[in-house]
A and B are shown apart, each in its own frame.
Chain A
Amino acid sequence: MSWFFDLLTAAVYSLLIQNIIFNSGLALSETVRTARRPKFFLMYGVSVLYFSLTTSLICSLINLIPAVKSLSMIWHMAIFAVILAIVTFATSVFAIVVLKANKKFMNSLGMCAINSLVLAIPIINSRSALSVASSVGSAIGAALAFVLALLFVNSAMRKIASNKDIPKSFRGLPAVFVYMALLALAFNCLSGQESFI
């Protein structure tokens, strides 16, 4: 059962303690742009989960090879990027041939694969020397953190759009950035990091 606890701990850590979006600043632009389009939430959430999980699993298995493990971060990044490209290609071919996916879906799928979160997770796992179970947990936690961030930012956007008391210059994107800054500060405090000392 220890693998399950490893997985769960890593997932909770990526989601709450060291929130990958707000504490590390990963995938922020994707979060802001997707949060504006709630009708893509389900598709983006599932796709990011799929890509981060698959890439993370394959990368952590490949990282078990001593020759790969001994390489520097630069070469790890290169290998992981190639793996992500292969996973994206295979998924796209499967979606076209088997699922008969339409053009719009294929375009969105590509944008999910290029999410910086998807490539960042295997690199973080490799640098932290996480086990396979922890890597999978970290990928699940990261995808959940992305969905959580989408919900938070969408809720903020709704409030900002209907609040006329916000100064004109801050309306829209500037207010969203400031709101996200406060959320980042909150998650920062949750992680126990000292912010102003």
Chain B
Amino acid sequence: MDKKEKVGLTLPRMLFKGSFVYSPVLTQSIGICTIVAICFTLKISLIVSITLTFILLINEIMASLILKKLSRWMRIICYMLLSTLLLIPIMLILDKNYSQLNASMGIYLPLLAVNSLIVIRCEKYAVKNNLKLSVFDALSAGLGYGVTAIIVGGIREIAAFGTLLGKTVTELPGYSGMALPFGGLIVLGFTAAFHKWFVKKYFSDQPTNTFPLRTAFETPLIREEGLNITTGTLSILSDPAVTNEEALSEKTEKDASEKAPVKTEENAEKDGDNQ
């Protein structure tokens, strides 16, 4: 993001773009563990979203104000400890007032302390920006996470139990599998597809392929990067032939398509025209 773009960002625009268009869960696969594992009711989704947004906000504030001066590996430890410190009172309150709900969240609420959303947002944004922008970013990322969690949680609650916030909404038999990680992934997959379609249709100027799979064709680590045993050091052994990642991914994609020719849409259209 260049300076001009950064200056032009207002809170509503940043909230909307950061939370919806660039939803961290649906476009970058960040923090899906909690959504898939425990967001099977609307109530739990709300609790998880609020808790995570609060922890993220405090972490980004601290990262923007103090932690900038530390090296990255030390900052990661600080995020972990700070999140744990923030989670303890939240869990004690939940345990005292909503013990049943707390029990149904099991080990997953404590795991918010190591949620990837916190580390990634703090490292990619908060340490590089001022306090105001970091707060905006925390709110937008938290909102994006929350909206996805609520949508997934709502759909799963209806599908699994036929209820919404505990009230019966359908008499159809529930499919208990929807409350399992399998159900969470299916709902998340369809939500991500709908999100992609919606962004492409109504925000055509925004890039939709934010999670390109081209790099999946890269060669394994052993050849390019690893332990330099001869010198007794850990170093990245870069191969000059593969330093240009874009060139590599384009090449591998080309190779893959040459090896396994597939019927593209353009070809299909041409075929249709010919017929």
Contact with A along B18-47 (1 / 0, CB 8 A): 000000001111111100110000000000
Contact with A along B181-218 (1 / 0, CB 8 A): 11111101110111011001000000001011111111
Q: Which residue of B lies closest to A32 (CB)?
A: B29
Task: Judge whether B269 is part of the interface by a CB distance below 8 angstroms.
Answer: no
Contact with B along A101-112 (1 / 0, CB 8 A): 111111101110
Task: Judge whether B7 is part of the interface by a CB distance below 8 angstroms.
Answer: no
Contact with B along A47-88 (1 / 0, CB 8 A): 000000000000000000000000011100110011011001
List of B residues within 8 angstroms of A180 by Cβ: 185, 189
User: CB distance B234 to A39 under 8 Å?
Assistant: no
Q: Given A39-B219, A119-B114, A106 and B72 touching (CB < 8 A)?
A: yes
List of B residues within 8 angstroms of A25 by Cβ: 33, 36-37, 181, 184
User: CB distance A39 to B233 under 8 Å?
Assistant: no
Instruction: Report how far A84 CA is from B76 CA in the complex, Å.
Output: 12
Contact with A along B137-181 (1 / 0, CB 8 A): 000000000000000000000000000000000000001110011
List of B residues within 8 angstroms of A106 by Cβ: 71-73
User: CB distance B81 to A27 under 8 Å?
Assistant: no
**By DSSP majority rule, is chain B's interface helix, strand, loop, or mixed?**
helix
Q: How many B residues are at the interface, by size bracket?
A: 35 or more
Q: Given A43-B221, A85-B80, A160-B213, A74 and B197 touching (CB < 8 A)?
A: no
Task: Judge whether A6 is part of the interface by a CB distance below 8 angstroms.
Answer: no
Q: Looking at the assembled complex, report how far the CB atom of B50 sits from the nearest CB atom of chain A, in whole angstroms.
A: 18
List of B residues within 8 angstroms of A113 by Cβ: 76-77, 80
Instruction: Report how far A127 CA is from B84 CA in the complex, Å.
Output: 18
User: CB distance B111 to A116 under 8 Å?
Assistant: yes
Task: Judge whether B241 is part of the interface by a CB distance below 8 angstroms.
Answer: no
User: CB distance A116 to B114 under 8 Å?
Assistant: yes
User: CB distance B73 to A115 under 8 Å?
Assistant: no
User: CB distance A162 to B224 under 8 Å?
Assistant: no
Of the candidates A22, A169, A188, A194, the one whose C-beta lies within 8 Å of that of B194 is: A169
Contact with A along B222-245 (1 / 0, CB 8 A): 101110000011111000000000
Q: Which residue of B lies closest to A118 (CB)?
A: B114
Of the candidates B31, B182, B196, the one whose C-beta lies within 8 Å of that of A29 is: B31
Of the candidates A41, A78, A162, A167, the one whose C-beta lies within 8 Å of that of B262 is: A162
User: CB distance A40 to B214 under 8 Å?
Assistant: no
User: CB distance A28 to B32 under 8 Å?
Assistant: yes
List of A residues within 8 angstroms of B29 by Cβ: 29, 32-33, 173, 176
Which A positions have Cβ atoms within 8 angstroms of B?
22-30, 32-33, 35-43, 72-74, 77-78, 81-82, 84-85, 88-89, 92, 95, 99-107, 109-111, 113-116, 118-120, 123-124, 127, 154, 157-158, 160-165, 167-170, 172-178, 180-181, 184-185, 188, 193-197
Q: A88-B77, A101-B233, A114-B80 are in contact. List 14 more A-B contacts (CB 8 A).
A: A27-B33, A39-B218, A39-B225, A43-B226, A74-B91, A82-B84, A102-B234, A103-B72, A113-B77, A119-B110, A161-B217, A165-B262, A169-B193, A177-B188
